[in-house]
């Protein structure tokens, strides 16, 4: 897609929906000897998301898994739309659109794996992280340069804010 058309799509975005594992994290699970696991979040992504929230973009985390780590990260960043353990991401999208009065063309979904495809097909700006599976990259209007959990979300936030 050409830069002008991408800018036009980005300028309309008021809702940024993000998958968690593989988008906000690098997708790795670090199992701890004493039980449980740890995940890695990128500080630059976090700073970008905090800026997006301050600039009036509604940010929503939507993940098939419900983890205390993702919930804590969302709360630290001031994200109010936290939908963890959500298997039907389109239903979450439709609920948010209904409650906010936004249209699907005003939404961006950033994904990396097959579970994200239905929601990506519904929004105005579907984005894949650089290391997303091929099927997700094919549906995306834009593919980030950076990988999930390695600055991809910051890249998307900067894209959106640069075209406001």
Band the pLDDT of 90: cuts 50, 70, 90. Answer: very high
Please report the pLDDT score of residue 85 as a whole number.
Answer: 95
> Per-residue pLDDT for 1 more than 80?
no
In the predicted structure, residue 164 carries a pLDDT above the cut 80: yes
Handedness of CA 94, 96, 99, 100 (dihedral sign): negative
Tell me the helices (H) and strands (E) count for the chain, helix number first: 7, 8
Q: What number of other Cβ atoms are within 10 A of residue 162's Cβ? A: 10
On whether the CB atoms of residues 116 and 109 are closer than 8 A, the answer is: yes
State the Cα–Cα distance between residues 110 and 140, nearest whole angstrom: 9
Instruction: Return the structure tokens found at 71.
Output: 């919930």
Confidence of residue 2 (pLDDT cuts 50, 70, 90): confident
Determine contact, residues 61/74, Cβ cutoff 8 Å.
yes
Q: How confident is the model at residue 77 (pLDDT cuts 50, 70, 90)?
A: very high
Task: Read off the pTM.
Answer: 0.96
Pull the structure tokens for residue 21: 């594992």
Choose the CATH number for 3-162 among 3.40.50.1100, 3.40.50.300, 3.40.50.1000, 3.50.50.60.
Answer: 3.40.50.1000
Count other C-beta atoms under 10 Å from residue 158's C-beta: 14
Binned at pLDDT 50, 70 and 90, residue 130 comes out as very high
Q: What is the pLDDT of residue 149?
A: 97
Residue 98: pLDDT band with limits 50, 70, 90: very high
User: In the chain, what is the straight-line distance between the N-terminal and C-terminal CA atoms, in Å?
Assistant: 19
> What residue ranges do the domains of the chain occupy?
3-162
Average pLDDT for residues 19-37, to the nearest whole number?
93
Average of pLDDT values for 36-46?
A: 94
């Amino acid at each position: 897609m050409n830069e002008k058309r991408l800018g036009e799509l980005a300028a309309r975005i008021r809702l940024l929906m993000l998958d968690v594992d593989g988008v906000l994290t690098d997708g790795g699970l670090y199992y701890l000897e004493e039980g449980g696991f740890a995940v890695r979040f990128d500080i630059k992504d976090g700073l970008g998301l905090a800026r997006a929230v301050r600039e009036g973009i509604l940010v929503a985390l939507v993940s098939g898994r419900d983890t205390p780590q993702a919930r804590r990260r969302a709360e630290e960043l001031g994200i109010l739309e936290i939908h963890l353990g959500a298997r039907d991401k389109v239903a979450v999208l439709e609920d948010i659109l209904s409650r906010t009065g936004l249209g699907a063309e005003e939404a961006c979904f950033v994904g990396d794996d097959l579970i994200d495809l239905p929601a990506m097909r519904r929004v105005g700006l579907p984005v894949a992280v650089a290391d997303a599976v091929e099927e997700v990259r094919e549906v995306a209007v834009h593919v980030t340069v950076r990988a999930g959990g390695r600055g991809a979300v910051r890249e998307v936030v900067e894209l959106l804010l640069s075209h406001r």
